[in-house]
Structure 1
Amino acid sequence: MSEPGKYVLAKPIGEAEIGRLDLQHRMWLTQHHGLYSAPISKSSKQRVVDIGCGTGIWAIAFATEHPDSHVLGLDITLPQPNSAPANCSFAVADAEGDWSFATEPFDLIYGRMLINSIRNWPRYLKRCLQHLKPGGWLELSDVAHRFFAEDGCSEAESPMLRWWRVVFQESSRNNGIDIDDTYKHAQQMRDAGFADVRERVFKWPVGSARASTQEEKVIGDLQYQNLQVLIGGVTETAVQHGDLPGMTAQQAQILADEAKRDVVENSDRHGYYMHFATYVGQAPR
């Protein structure tokens, strides 16, 4: 993967806003130091849509920083923030369905952590391109569905690596997710017709012992917390939905408990890490 150079970043949002983000979004913000990476026009009148906006915090923060813009936050359930600026609105929509919300083209289509939501990426990317202004930008940020150990340990030595393959990746595949989709974004954007596609892939360590930057140290500490939540939640959901054929609920829970313990006791020794990637691409002028 290529290194596209420096991105244009907005000013960081405040500590209060960071505290309301979930763990993965806090790691994303720590990595980027700002709200977006796309080198969008400095024109204040931007039309922006946040696909899969979750709580709506990013849409609200962007609208606050750009008071002359209009920001639309979309999700399959309607966000209910305590307050939002007048230039920020929300709607219920499935981005893989009808784009009736796109009454006018956008300057920026933004999407973060959509890897578990989009099933047909080529179709989605083409639709994004159709609804961007000439010269407008698409930005995607996603974690990759791969888990690594720097020391090259095997699954026999690592319950976490074993859980990742047997539970996480298997349940992902059974729900129609290509576990390598994140790594394909750049080429798929080019294939869809985007110009000036840029990619940056970051290493997100688990724990801070092997971190080489302050950002990695912060992310490493957050990863400890994130994986404890992720392991438990994914295992419970996979068992409930019958996504683990050949494995009983008790076997899945035992493996999940071993993986949690392995993360706490052995992350520094094995050098566990994941990849996180950001991609931006421009609609041809």
Structure 2
Amino acid sequence: MADVTHEIWKKLFCGDLAVCPKKSGADRVLEVGTGTGIWAIEYAEKHEGAQVIGVDMSAVQPQWVPPNCSFEVDDAEEEWAWKSKFDFIFARSMIRSKHDWECLQDDLFPVCSDDGTVDGSNLLKWATYIIEATKKMGQSVTVAPQFKQMMEDAGFKGVVEVQHKWPTNHWPRDERYKEVGRWSCVVASEGLEGLSLALFKVLGWTVPETLTFLPEVGKDLRNVRIHGYWRVYTVYGQKPA
């Protein structure tokens, strides 16, 4: 599903791999939390003159990659061993895996709606439970709105925040967002049970209780009369030399 999520981000960005000025023209690129490596590989393919490094704690990337792309297994939260500087550092979808933040791109977990159709739904209840569970674990999934201030506090200049809506299904009339919603529903549906079982036990839920609740959440997730969306944030800035 990670590669599907990658395509959703590209759809939001009208085919681009990023929204910052360095979406093209960077010489040394680092992707933190590269996962399957699909973003790093595509950037390297599109920019043959760039050296692209993807780093992750799991070695799940393919062996056959462009000659200007490589992967390393490392914890990016530890002291960096790279001697040469990077002119573009990219990270996304790590809101549930990091504690110390500088510059990232991610979603804000509470599900929203502009017309109130999500109010009182099991989908909203589910999202509220997820937030409660992650807070108990010390891993907030509502940190995305703070990214801009975090980057400014870290010394970045010219920090820009870009927001998009990530629909829960294909309810939007706009064709681009309709397609984003169609795929986001697939991703959310696939991960619904695993995520919920892992987190609801923190709240004291039993497995049968969770499995009884989830079908109702799934119905709301697919219900085109519920005009829900997740607000996604992209923040970028420049680190002074």
Fold equivalence (TM over 0.5): yes
What CA distance in whole angstroms lies between the structure 2 residues aligned with 1:283 and 1:38? 13
Q: 1:30 to 1:41 in 2, by over 3 A?
A: closer
Give the equivalent residue in structure 2 for 1:216: 177
Which stretches in structure 1 are left out of the alignment for 5+ residues?
1-19, 126-137
What CA distance in whole angstroms lies between the structure 1 residues aligned with 2:125 and 2:156? 38
Question: Is the contact made by 2:3 and 2:36 (CA closer than 8 Å) also made in structure 1?
Answer: no
**Residue 255 of structure 1: CA displacement?**
1.4
SS at match of 1:253: helix
Aligned AA for 1:98? E
The question of 1:60 aligning with 2:21 is answered no
What CA distance in whole angstroms lies between the structure 1 residues aligned with 2:234 and 2:157? 16
Aligned pairs for 1:145-184 (under 5 A) are: 145-153=109-117, 157-166=120-129, 168-184=130-146
Aligned pairs for 1:107-186 (under 5 A) are: 107-121=87-101, 125=102, 140-153=104-117, 157-166=120-129, 168-186=130-148
Which stretches in structure 2 are left out of the alignment for 5+ residues?
none
Q: 1:107 to 1:31 in 2, by over 3 A?
A: same
**Can you list the C-alpha shifts for 1:52-81, whole angstroms capped at 9, x where unaligned?**
001111111111222222111100011331
How many residue pairs match? The answer is: 240
SS at match of 1:144: strand
The question of 1:248 aligning with 2:206 is answered yes
Question: Is the contact made by 2:12 and 2:176 (CA closer than 8 Å) also made in structure 1?
Answer: yes
What CA distance in whole angstroms lies between the structure 1 residues aligned with 2:89 and 2:17? 13
SS at match of 2:21: coil
Hey, which bits of structure 1, 4+ residues long, moved more than 4 A?
41-44
What CA distance in whole angstroms lies between the structure 2 residues aligned with 1:74 and 1:84? 14
SS at match of 1:72: strand
SS at match of 1:40: helix
What TM-score, normalized to structure 1? 0.78
Residue in structure 1 matching 2:18, options 22, 36, 41: 36
SS at match of 1:201: strand
Give the equivalent residue in structure 2 for 1:276: 232
What TM-score, normalized to structure 2? 0.91
Residue in structure 2 matching 1:205, options 145, 158, 167: 167
SS at match of 1:232: helix
**Residue 149 of structure 1: CA displacement?**
3.0
